[in-house]
Amino acid sequence: MSEIIGVIGSGTMGNGIAQVAARAGYTVVMRDVSDAFLQRGISAIDKSLQRDVDKERLSTEEKQSIIGRIRTTTELEPLRDASFVIEAVTEDLTVKTEVFKALDRLTSPETILASNTSSISITRLGAATSRPEKVVGMHFMNPVPVMKLVEVIRGIATSDETYEKVRGLTDKMGKTALDCNDSPGFVSNRVLMPMINEAVFTLYEGVATRESIDGIMQLGMNHPMGPLALADFIGLDVCLAILNVLYDGFGDPKYRACPLLKRYVDAGWLGRKTGRGFYQY
């Protein structure tokens, strides 16, 4: 049997990670808290692979064998023999800490425990285990099967050996690993979120319309999506939460979230997922 990759969480990111790992030839064990969530994850994988079949980038047999390499479970036990486990559960420190403690008890001391967190400190997750040198951030981008980058985050104790193994895994998944040290927002969100926030401020202050703001960044900076449309895609609640992590982490007012962003989140206008954000869907 091929090497086992464990994936915890079968939501947007978890099912994407399971798909690329299985496509790279690994046996995948995907765990969630209910069969209904797991079913939803598998059908998202099926749909995503079917698009490649329709575009003749993948045969139906290959699609079936990729899905056949993904085992689903609501238990932790089947993850015991995994050589890597990638955690992609809800962005909540308590939930993630519990997952890391349980994985630390269950898996071999050699197993690498990775988190796909967007903002939680890898150093803190590492400290919850007896193997902080084997704990690392693997920050995949959404949608996982499409986006090339994996931002690899080294906690204060993450070893070079762990980093090299993670790099090997990302290469096999057809992704590019770029590393950074553990710091609020890592690199990706520390650079992206202030840009999005500033775009919201320009809207708030009436500097330009949403269409102008997005158009200026698309046509002028060659961004594929304007910052307001991108915020809607990410989720305005997620953007606000990450800005708050930056604000708290650095104690610097330059990361203060725009009041308009807070107001939209208060209204439940969270972007594409709720049908309304800066645009209507």
Ligand X SMILES: NC(=O)c1ccc[n+]([C@@H]2O[C@H](COP(=O)([O-])OP(=O)(O)OC[C@H]3O[C@@H](n4cnc5c(N)ncnc54)[C@H](O)[C@@H]3O)[C@@H](O)[C@H]2O)c1
* Binding stretches for ligand X (CB under 6 A): 8-14, 31-33, 37, 88-91, 95, 99, 116-118, 139, 142, 234
- State the nearest-atom distance from the C-beta of 85 to ligand X, in Å: 11
- State the nearest-atom distance from the C-beta of 259 to ligand X, in Å: 24
Whether 67 contacts 49, CB under 8 Å: yes
- Would you say the C-alpha torsion 255, 257, 258, 259 has a positive or negative sign? negative
For residue 280, count CB atoms less than 10 angstroms from its CB and return exposed for 0-12, middle for 13-18, buried for 19 or more.
exposed
The two structure tokens encoding residue 268 = 């439940």
- State the nearest-atom distance from the C-beta of 28 to ligand X, in Å: 14
Candidates 11, 40, 52, 7; CA nearest to 238 is 11
> Which residue number has the CB closest to ligand X?
11
Please tell me the number of Cα atoms within 13 Å of 234 on its side-chain side.
23
Using the minimum distance from each CB to ligand X, give the nearer residue, 65 or 74. 74
Whether 119 contacts 184, CB under 8 Å: yes
Using the minimum distance from each CB to ligand X, give the nearer residue, 11 or 194. 11
Using the minimum distance from each CB to ligand X, give the nearer residue, 79 or 202. 79
Using the minimum distance from each CB to ligand X, give the nearer residue, 52 or 91. 91
Q: Would you please indicate which residues are annotated as catalytic (active-site) residues?
A: 118, 139, 151, 189
Q: Report CA 184 to chain centroid distance, whole Å.
A: 15
- Would you say the C-alpha torsion 115, 118, 122, 128 has a positive or negative sign? negative
- State the nearest-atom distance from the C-beta of 122 to ligand X, in Å: 12
